[in-house]
Chain A
Amino acid sequence: MTPAQPAGRPAGDLVSPAENTWCPGCGNFSIEHMMKSAIAELSEEEGIPIENFVLLGGIGCHGKLVDYLNVNSFYGIHGRSVPAATGIRLANPDLKVICHVGDGDIYAEGLDHLLFAAKRNSDITVVVHDNRVYGLTTGQYTPTSPTGFRGRSTPGGITEHPLNPLEVMLAAGATHIARGYTRKVQHLKGLFKEAIMHRGFSLIDVLQICATYFNLTDYYNEHAYEMKEGETSRFESALGKIREWDYDREAPIPLGTFYSVDKPIYEEKFRALTADRPDRRALVRKVIEEWR
C-alpha cells in the first residue's frame, strides 16, 4: 500500500482474514457489512482516508466485529469503550471514532461513561448491538430485556422493566439519536453514515437478532417501521417519538433518526492548549523560575 492511493477502497477489501465465529443467522453480520460499506462509501464520498477510521469494541459477541474489519481498532474491555474513544478523539481530531458496544456492555457495565460522553458531547459515534440478551455469556437478561424475560440467571422471569436507552440518551444531552434494525440493512447503512458524519455525540441503538438466545425477528418485522424524514431538532417531539415504544409493551417501533442538533464539541475546547507543541521543558523551567 502506498500513500498515493486514492482514499476510497472497495468495501470487500475491508474484510480481514480473521475467522468469523458468530452463529449462523446472527444480526451482527448485517451490522458488520453495513458498517464496512458505510466506511467505504464515506471514504469515497467524503474523501476520508480509511486509516482515519477507528473502531472500538467492548466485550460480547458485538466486539468481534473489530477483528473482522481491516480498520484501526481498539478491542478493549467490557463497558469501557466510550472513554477510550473520547481519548482517541482528543489526541487526533482527524479520526472518525466509532464504538461498537453491546446492550449489556454499555447500558449495564458502562452506562456511566455513556451518560457522560453524551453530556459532554464527545465527538464519537456509538453503535449499540442491542440484541436484548447476553450472548457470549450464554443467555442472561440485559437492561433492555422485556419484563418477564427468562434468562439463565433469572429462570423465574425478570420483574423489572427495561430501560428505554434512547430516552436516557436524550435526557443526558446526546446530540444525535437514532434506531436501526438488522433486517433493514440499507436503512441501517444510511443511519451509520449520518451518525458518523454528525459533529458531536451520536448513538444508534440497533435492534439486533440473537439467533440463539432471543430471536425477535417476527416481532420486529411486524412492529418496526421507518419514520418519515422530518424535523429532528426539537427535544419535545423527539421525546414523544422515542416514547412510542418503551422496549416492553407491544407498540409500533419507529426506526430512523429521532434527534439531531449541533452543539459545541467537547474535544474542541482543548485544541488551542496543545496546538503548536512548544518546548515543554522550557515551559517547566519558566514555571519554576517564576514560582510564587
Chain B
Amino acid sequence: MAEYSILIGGKAGEGINTAGLSIAGLFSRLGYRTYMYFDYPSLIRGGHNFAIIRASEKAIGAHRTPADVLLAFDQNSIENHRESIHGGTTVVHDASQVVRGEGYGLPLDTIVKEEKAPPITKNSAMLGALARVAGIGRDVLEDVLRESVPAKHLEANLRVAGRGYDAVEGVFTVEPLDGPALPVLTGNEVAGLGLVHGGLDSYVAYPMTPTSSLLHFLANRAEDLSIRVIHPENEISVIMMALGLAYAGERAAVGTAGGGFCLMTEGLSLAGMSEIPVTIVVGQRPGPSTGIPTYTAQTDLHFVLNAGQGEFPRLVVAPGDLAETYSWSATALALSWKYQVPSIILTDKTLAEGACSFDLGAVAMHPDRKPEIWDGTGEYRRYARTKSGVSPLTFPGRAGTIVKANSYAHDEAGFTTEAAGEVTALQEKMLRKGESLKEELSTYPTVRTYGARDAGRTIVCWGSEKWACIEAAEEFGARVVQPLVLAPFPARAWKEAMIGAGNVVCVENNATGQLARLLRQQGFDPGRSVLKYDGRPFAVDELAARLKEVIA
C-alpha cells in the first residue's frame, strides 16, 4: 500500500501550519487521503513548531512516527525528531540555519535574497524540494501553489519553489491515484460547516484554544454562509447571548475549551431549566486550569456530562473524525432544538486543529429533525406538559401570544412557582424529554464498530483516538468499538456492540480513564485502560506498542 509521512518543523511564526496544509494539498492533488497533526507551543514567535503530514491510498486519521521526508528549518527540527529519522528518511534542511545538517541543505536565505522574495516563501522552497524528492512533477507543484497562494505573492512563491525543486534529487516516486482531489479541512472548520448544515443562524464565541480557529473560520466566512458571528466580552456573555438569540427564535451555537466552559456552566443550567436550546462546542486540552493550552487531552468528559447545578437532560456527542464531526454537529444542533435541551459537541485539540481530507459526499447524514412549533390553538403555554415532555415553541413577537421563559421553577405558563406538586411535575417533564431524546437516538449510529465481531479482542475508544485505534487494531486483528453519544448513554447499542468482545482494552488521552469510569457507571466492564496524558495524541506505532503489552 502506498503511504507517505512527511515531517516539517521550524520556529513559530514561520508558517509551519500553512506549509503543512500545502504539503497535504500536494498529496491531495494526486488523489491521496491525507492527515495532518500540528504541534505548537503557546507562543507567537520562536519555539519549535512541527507538522506531520501523512498521505495514504485509504482513509486515515492519525499520524505515525517514522518519516519518509523531514523538512527542517532549524536544528531543533532534526534533533527533536531523531526517532522519526531512519535509514530511508530523506532530510532536507535550511543550510542557513542548520549547522549539523544531513541530507540536502538549501541555502534559503540566499535563495529568497536572490529571488527578491519575502522570508515566508522559504516554505515554498521546502515544498518544491519535497515535490522533487517525492517524484511529483513541477506542474503539480505549481498548480498547488496557484490554488493556495494569493495572486500578488504567487510569482515570488513560484520562483522560490522552483529553486527548491532544482536543488535536490528524486528519491522515490509518488504515483498519482484515481481518487478525487479532496479538500483538506480541520475539525473546527468541519464543525462550523456541520452546524450551518444543521440550521445555525449565529455563532457566538470568545477566543480560546483549541476552538479559536472555529471562531476565525466562521467570522471569515460569515457572508459566504449568511450567518452572524459575534465575539462578546467573555464566555458568560457568549452563552447568555446565545440563549437570548434562541429565546427569540434564532439557532445559536457557541464554542470554547474547558476553562471557558467553566464560565458557561451557570448559563448551561439556565438552558436546562428554561428549556432554551443551545449547542456548545467544547474543544478539550490538558488541564487542570491553564494546563498546556495548545496540546490535546480527553479530560473533560465527566465535566461536560455533569456540569451545571440541578438535574436536566443534555445531549453529549464526541465525534472521532471529520465525517462524524460534520454529521453530529448538524444533528446536535437539530436535536437540541427538537428536544429543547443543551447539546455539547466534545472535540479536542487533535481533532479541532488537525487537518484531514474531507469527502462531503461520503458523509452519512442522519435524518432531518425540526423543532415542534406551536400550532396556535388555545392560549400559549411555554411549558405545556406533554407526554414527550417537549412543549411546542413559539417566539416573542407572535401576535396575541406571550412567551415567558424562566430560570425559577415554573408552571406551564412560565410563572414562578414553589408549589410542591408543580415542582415535581416540572422536574418529571424535563426528564421525560431526556427519555424521548434517548428513544429517538436508538435509531442513530450512536455506537460504531470496526473489524470482525469474532476477533476475540476489542479496543474501546472515543473521540479523536478513533483512527489510531483502528489502524493499531488491524495489526492485532482486534475490533474497535466507539461510542459517538455519551449522554444520554446508548446502553442498549453498547451492550449489543460488545457481545463477544473478548479481551477488552480502553484507550484514552487522560490519566484516570474517563470513558472507563462512565462504562462502569453504566454497568459495563471497560477492560484494561491504556492511557496517555502528556498532551500528545497516540501515534499509530506508539499505540500498537502499548497495546502489545496488554493484548499479546
Contacts and interface: CB of A to CB of B under 8 A. Distances in A.
A274 B244 contact: no
Contacts of B185: 288, 291
Contacts of B244: 74, 83-91
A42 to B, nearest CB: 15
Contacts of B358: 288
Interface string A271-285: 001101110110111
Interface in A130-154: none
A92 B248 contact: yes
B397 interface: yes
A273 B222 contact: yes
Contacts of A1: 400-401
A281 B368 CA distance: 12
A112 B206 CA distance: 14
B227 A273 contact: yes
Contacts of A95: 248, 396-397
A244 to B, nearest CB: 30
A75 B223 CA distance: 33
A285 B360 contact: yes
Contact of B400 (A3, A86, A283): A3
A46 interface: no
A222 to B, nearest CB: 37
B391 to A, nearest CB: 16
Contacts of A286: 224
A292 B24 CA distance: 12
Given A67-B416, A274-B201, A287-B225, A2 B266 contact: no
Given A77-B266, A116-B233, A292 B396 contact: no
B234 interface: yes
Contacts of A64: 416
Contact of B227 (A3, A18, A54, A280): A280
A287 B224 CA distance: 7
B202 interface: yes
Q: Report whether over half of chain B's contact residues are helix, strand or loop; otherwise say mixed.
A: mixed
Contacts of A77: 266-267, 270, 407
Contacts of B237: 80, 83, 112-113, 116
B522 interface: no
B408 interface: yes
Interface in B343-366: 358, 360
Interface in B223-249: 223-228, 230, 232-234, 236-238, 240-249
Contacts of B246: 87
A222 B40 CA distance: 66
Interface string B397-432: 111111111111000001110000000000000000
Given A80-B236, A287-B193, A278 B399 contact: no
Given A72-B396, A90-B245, A280-B197, A18 B234 contact: no
B334 interface: no
A95 B240 CA distance: 18
Interface residues of B, number: 63
B226 A75 contact: no
A128 B287 CA distance: 39
- Give the one of A66, A76, A270 with max B CB within 10 A: A76
B241 A83 contact: yes
A84 B234 contact: no
A239 interface: no
Interface in B456-512: none
Contact of A51 (B245, B360, B398): B398
Contact of B247 (A59, A87, A112): A87
- Give the one of A74, A76, A270, A273 with max B CB within 10 A: A74
A55 to B, nearest CB: 9
Interface string A38-49: 000000000001
Contact of B270 (A5, A67, A76): A76
A70 B401 CA distance: 10
A82 B232 CA distance: 12
A291 B408 CA distance: 47
A273 B249 contact: no
A268 interface: no
Contact of B396 (A51, A59, A112): A51
Nearest to A72: B396
B111 interface: no
A67 B418 CA distance: 13
- Give the one of A116, A281, A284 with max B CB within 10 A: A284
Nearest to A276: B226
B397 A94 contact: yes
Nearest to B399: A3
B397 A273 contact: no
Nearest to A78: B266
Contact of A5 (B184, B240, B400): B400
B225 A280 contact: yes
Interface in B309-362: 358, 360
A91 B225 contact: no
B183 interface: yes
A274 B245 contact: no
Contacts of A2: 400
Contact of B250 (A18, A59, A90, A292): A90
Interface string B199-215: 11110100000000000
A1 B398 CA distance: 12
Contacts of A281: 196-197
B396 A75 contact: no
5 tightest A-B CB contacts, nearest first: A87-B244, A291-B183, A91-B248, A84-B244, A3-B399
Interface of B: 147-148, 183-185, 193, 196-197, 199-202, 204, 221-228, 230, 232-234, 236-238, 240-250, 252, 266-267, 270, 274, 358, 360, 395-408, 414-416
Given A67-B406, A112-B233, A280-B197, 11 more contacts: A3-B399, A51-B402, A52-B396, A67-B415, A72-B404, A77-B270, A80-B267, A87-B252, A90-B228, A90-B250, A113-B237
12 contacts: A54-B248, A67-B404, A75-B408, A80-B237, A88-B396, A90-B245, A91-B202, A91-B248, A91-B250, A92-B395, A113-B233, A273-B227
